[in-house]
Amino acid sequence: MAIGPERKSKIMTEADKVTTAYHEAGHALVGHVLPDSDPVHKVTIIPRGGTGGVTWFIPPEDRVFVSLIQFKDMLARGLGGRIAEEVVLGKDRITTGAGNDLQHAAEVARDMIINQGMGEKLRDQVFHVDDGMMIERLVHERDYSEDTARVIDQEVESLITEAANRARAVIKANLGKLEVLKDRLLEKETVDADEVLEALKGAKMPDAAALY
């Protein structure tokens, strides 16, 4: 699932609806194109809770394990909303809507490095982080050095940068499809899997976004 723009008021303006539609279409487009992403289940720009919209991704079957490339596609589609805003609206017109997406992407990337041994420089290594009460974390939060902490931060940044670049490549290569889905969302507000597939039919996978 990709959570859309945070809703600050109960009523969305027309401009907010357009931004939300681009945002959710970005998530859906990137997830649709990348080969190891879960398929899109549904997209809505109807505000839910504190968010402006949601894009749901559901795996085709129960999954026991998640591979490195599946994690990377998950990161890229999670950043698809922010990147769609950036590409269409401009770098200085991005919104606070991606706050939840960015936080979740950072958490996934850090888990990949710290708990799953999926770093480039720290491959097959895991690092203990204390999950205890706050007082315990203040005394002992990690059992690795400051140098290792810096490498972990670099690895996380590298994963996020790669994901953003892949999402950007997909969106720039399929701007027409992004507009089609955006318009469909503005018209219907909620679009199911079949309608997403119809809107994104013919979307292409650019070489710049390929992992293999």
Q: Is the pLDDT of residue 177 over 60?
A: yes
129 in any annotated domain: yes
89 contacts 22 by C-beta, under 8 angstroms:
yes
116 in any annotated domain: yes
Q: pLDDT band at residue 153, thresholds of 50, 70 and 90?
A: very high
53 in any annotated domain: yes
Provide the CATH number for the domain around residue 153. Answer: 1.20.58.760
pLDDT at site 134: 44
Could you read off the pLDDT of 90-137 as tens digits, one per residue? 999 998 888 899 999 999 999 999 999 999 998 988 886 655 544 444
* Domain housing 183: 2-205
Active site residues: 24
210 in any annotated domain: no
190 in any annotated domain: yes
Could you read off the pLDDT of 45-69 as tens digits, one per residue? 998 766 779 999 998 888 889 999 9
54 contacts 28 by C-beta, under 8 angstroms:
no
Own/partner pairs, 126-131, CB within 8 angstroms, 24+ separation: 127/152
Location of structure tokens 């490339």 = 69
211 in any annotated domain: no
Distance CA 167, CA 178 (A): 12
Please tell me the pTM assigned to this model: 0.87
How many domains does the chain contain in total?
1
Which of the residue ranges 9-18, 94-103, 150-159, 199-208 would you say has the lowest mean pLDDT? 9-18
